[in-house]
Chain A
Amino acid sequence: MAFLFGKKIAGLQIQRYWGLLHVLVERNLKVRYRGSFLGVYWSLLNPLIMTGLYTTIFGTTFASYYGNSIVNYILAAFTGLVVINFFSASTNQALSSIVNNGGLLNKINLPASVFPVSMIAANLFQFTVGAFPLLVIITLVNSKSFVNVMALLFPFTALILFSTGVSFITSALYVFFRDLPYFYELVVFVLWMSSPVFYPAAIVPKHVQPILKLNPLLPIIESLRQISLSGKLPNWDLIINSFISAIIISLLGWACFKSLRHQFMDLL
């Protein structure tokens, strides 16, 4: 009996969490795109313009690393930028989400984790209507296989897990350290420059390459490129690699968030 009762409460809590997530994401997107004609497609503009910029500047120089094809360079830059963009946008927005909603947490009993998660979810929605269809087309053209299109979901699940884990850590720490955004900006910049997004990994000196491998975004980008650009069937080793760091970070993030949660209210 007690067990059944507990199960019912858990069910209700999940329902409430889902409802909260729904309204928060809806609000988030409505506020962001109110009155803008292109709406959600603005989020595509950033990776497209960046790809154009990199191609103009580095395209001809680096083309030899991409089978002497500028198109290959464009695609490689675009796939890398999509990953970096999703990561930096969603985690930056999630960082301040707990503090920004501190007033609310002081008035109504809410699960605090719903705020960073809703930021990730809002970006996920944008991504699904914006960059994802483009990636599907690129993958179909290159591989002519629906297996590869389906496999796109793997590196992205890893990306979402990774971003959520990082968001849990940063949004919790921001409650205690209000100068965190300056540090975090640096962290994102380092991650960005150390991922081979607009340069080929081969130009990095041999003895530096192992250090770059520590970048947890790297396996995600590699797996995404292998699936969408190589024209071969998905490589499982790369997929598993991308999940390892993602799962570790997401568990770590959740543990960190949970252990700090009870101290939030004194500082909000």
Chain B
Amino acid sequence: MEIIRLDKISLWRRTQEEFSYDLKKTLLSILEGKYRKPAKNLVLDRIDLSVSSGEKIGIIGANGSGKSTLLKIICGILQPTNGTVRVRGTIAPLIELGAGFDPEISVRDNIILYGVMLGFSRTEMKERIKSILQFAELEDYILSPVKALSSGMVARLGFAIATDIQPDILILDEVLSVGDESFQNKSKKRIENFWNNNTTILVVSHNLKFIQDTCNQVIWLNKGKVQIMGSADEVIQCYLGSVNKAM
């Protein structure tokens, strides 16, 4: 079954540098007749993609080639300028774990807050508090504010919440190692579980070996375009070839 479909996705984004965030300046420049429309960059260029459920897809490419942006389009965080996106099922974005935490309120409240933001209901989250804390090994901290936790603990908590339920689509942006050695093993196991099940996985990584070992399809993005797409070995070879040539 097709679970993600992108049709001719293009995205133009404003370049932030030359934009004046200033009402006074903008009004003055309009009065002087010097106002220019802000410049825009083409970040993604006519990308087509179709993902069936259960596929594991790796996305590779140089920095700034639009990998994370593509993931954001699939998550619905960014709207494409042209083209259509269709996604079926729940998405668990593992992009910067713990981004939704409020440091002032308790771990318990944060679990509910973060869970609701990820799209679960409050009652659902209340039932899950226990298993989440257990996995994150933070049972003793349930009432302390998140600012009292170490950064490793915060990442553990974020991982535990986002992966407590098996999502239909898992989105990974280079966040595979969280916390200390023992937690890393635990989280790896959980991800591997998803990998063995029917979860659809999209992963952005610079670790080519990891991609080669775990993904059955690989996309090479180059300056916002799909350079090639195909089996892992083939695409990675091409990619390495072009990188070596450039050197």
Contacts and interface: CB of A to CB of B under 8 A. Distances in A.
Interface stretch (A12-20, A54-62, A154-162, A197-205): A12-20
Interface string A1-33: 000000000000001100110111011001100
B95 A16 contact: no
Given A109-B76, A180-B23, A267-B19, A104 B109 contact: no
B21 A178 contact: yes
A262 interface: yes
B199 interface: no
A108 B23 contact: no
Contacts of A16: 116, 119
Nearest to B75: A109
A182 to B, nearest CB: 9
B23 A105 contact: no
Contacts of B109: 26-27, 30
A173 B27 CA distance: 13
Contacts of A266: 13-14, 16
Given A109-B75, A183-B23, A266-B16, A19 B100 contact: no
Contact of B113 (A23, A105, A180, A267): A23
Contacts of B122: 19, 22-23
A106 interface: yes
A30 B105 contact: yes
Looking at chain B's contact residues, the main secondary structure is loop
A179 B102 contact: no
Interface residues of A, number: 32
Interface string A88-129: 000000000000000111111110000000000000000000
A132 interface: no
Nearest to B21: A178
B93 A107 contact: yes
B93 A23 contact: no
A183 to B, nearest CB: 6
A27 B113 contact: yes
Given A108-B93, A267-B21, A19 B104 contact: no
Given A30-B105, A178-B21, A23 B77 contact: no
17 contacts: A19-B122, A23-B113, A23-B116, A23-B122, A24-B113, A31-B104, A106-B77, A107-B100, A108-B118, A109-B77, A110-B117, A177-B22, A263-B14, A266-B14, A267-B14, A267-B19, A267-B21
Interface of B: 13-14, 16, 19, 21-24, 26, 72, 75-79, 91, 93, 95-96, 99-100, 102, 104-105, 109, 112-113, 116-119, 121-122
